[in-house]
A = this chain, B = another copy of it.
Amino acid sequence: MTTEPQVPGVVVERLPQYLRALSHLQEIGLEVISSQQLGEFLQATPAQIRKDLSYFGRFGKQGRGYSIPNLLLQLRRILGLDQTWNVAVVGVGRLGRSIISYPGFEPEGFRVVCAFDSNSQVIGQMAGGLLVNDFANFREVADAEGVKIAIVAVPAGVAQDVIDQLVEAGVKAILNYAPKSTIVPNGVRIQNVDPVVSLQSMTYYLNPHANGEVGEAEA
């Protein structure tokens, strides 16, 4: 039994990947896995995996490996995924509508319960079974719905302003689809969904120079 006052952010960000991998391994019938095997699956060193998990307690016995069902259960608890989270979507354009209708959230415990826009042409319409609320009423509606997580799908130009208002209304976690770097105060988490970063790591392999020389690099 341990407490973990300061787990590095990068470690926390790896936990969902462990969760995804372990769920997959469980689906294909495995019950126990070594840090070596899990490392091979995740392209990480066994030492890295043992170190990451050690922040949260002792999950395996030397030479025996991890019980997959137990590790899944513990990771879900650590990540707060043993409960359902109510989520607000802000910005009901094409992207916002597709987020509201995204079928991947609900099975993982995230429920989109309210939607907001500031365009009077959109407010009062239905989107994926939800009434679109006026963003001016965000705090009141979000409080009533117990929302602490917001997904932002507004144009880049207004993203920071919208995010500032969400923070002021008590939102603690933001998933930002706007193609722009934004700032939040300490105590609020933000993650950017950035398809460009994903594309950029694939073009490496398409690049005819990929395996060639790099050229002189000066200091």
Chain A contacts to B: CB under 8 angstroms: 1-5, 8-10, 12-13, 15-17, 19-20, 24, 43-44, 56-61, 64-67, 70-71, 74, 77-81, 85, 87, 93-95, 97-99, 101-105, 108, 110, 148-149, 151, 156, 172-173, 175, 179, 181, 189, 191, 193-219
Contacts and interface: CB of A to CB of B under 8 A. Distances in A.
A98 B93 contact: yes
A16 B211 contact: no
Contact of A74 (B19, B95, B110, B215): B215
Nearest to A10: B43
Given A12-B201, A24-B181, A193-B193, A206 B104 contact: no
A217 B59 contact: yes
B108 A78 contact: no
Contacts of A156: 103-104
Contacts of A20: 197
Contacts of A151: 195
Contact of A60 (B67, B78, B81, B219): B219
A125 B12 CA distance: 44
Q: Within the oligomer, what is the number of copies of this chain?
A: 2
B179 A104 contact: yes
Contacts of A56: 214
A129 B1 CA distance: 59
Given A103-B156, A151-B195, A196-B110, A203 B173 contact: yes
Nearest to A201: B13
Given A173-B205, A217-B57, A218-B70, A200 B104 contact: no
A1 B199 contact: no
Contacts of A175: 195, 198-199, 202
A108 to B, nearest CB: 5
A214 B74 contact: yes
A203 B13 contact: no
Contacts of A197: 16-17, 20
